Amino acid sequence: MKLTKTPQEFVDESLLLLKARPSTTRITTSYHAATAGKGKLTLKTYDPVSGALVKYRTSRIAVVGRLVSGLNRLGRQQARVPEPTVIAVQAPSASGTSTPIPGQAAPPEPPKSKKKKKKGKS
């Protein structure tokens, strides 16, 4: 049994176990509510053939969101669905122009105004 210390470590170790034995490995979650309103979430990845177990426990609510997204990755691995490809789009530079993306038409230039600005009284 391996008790992991971080959510990322749990996801990484579970991915390795799922890659080794995708047909027999199971992921389970359990939640135990406490009377004070603070519960404990336990995640386990277990392979009965090899006896390998990866476990993670937390009572911090901020970690649960990260774990859910990690479970998304684990579910994709178990279902043998490829990871989605992410296309990065660059933010506009300081000068206000953006870097063109290959295969995409450049955005049209905004029309320039020919009127002069009036100066206000000071």
- DSSP readout, 67-121? HHHHHHHHHHHHTTPPPPP----PPP-TTS--PPPTTSPPPPPPPPP-PPPPPPP
How would residue 58 be classed by pLDDT, with cut points 50, 70 and 90?
confident
CA distance 17 to 8: 14
- Please tell me the pTM assigned to this model: 0.57
Q: In this structure, which CATH number among 1.20.1260.10, 3.40.50.970, 3.30.720.10, 3.30.1330.200 belongs to the domain 2-78?
A: 3.30.720.10
- Is the pLDDT confidence value at 74 over 60? yes
Q: Read off the pLDDT of residues 86-109 as tens digits, 9 standing for 90 and up.
A: 766 666 555 555 565 666 666 666
DSSP run (H or E) holding 11? helix 7-20
Residue 5 is given by DSSP the state: S
| Summary mean pLDDT of the chain | 77
Quote the pLDDT of residue 54: 93
Amino acid at site 55: K
Amino acid at site 79: A
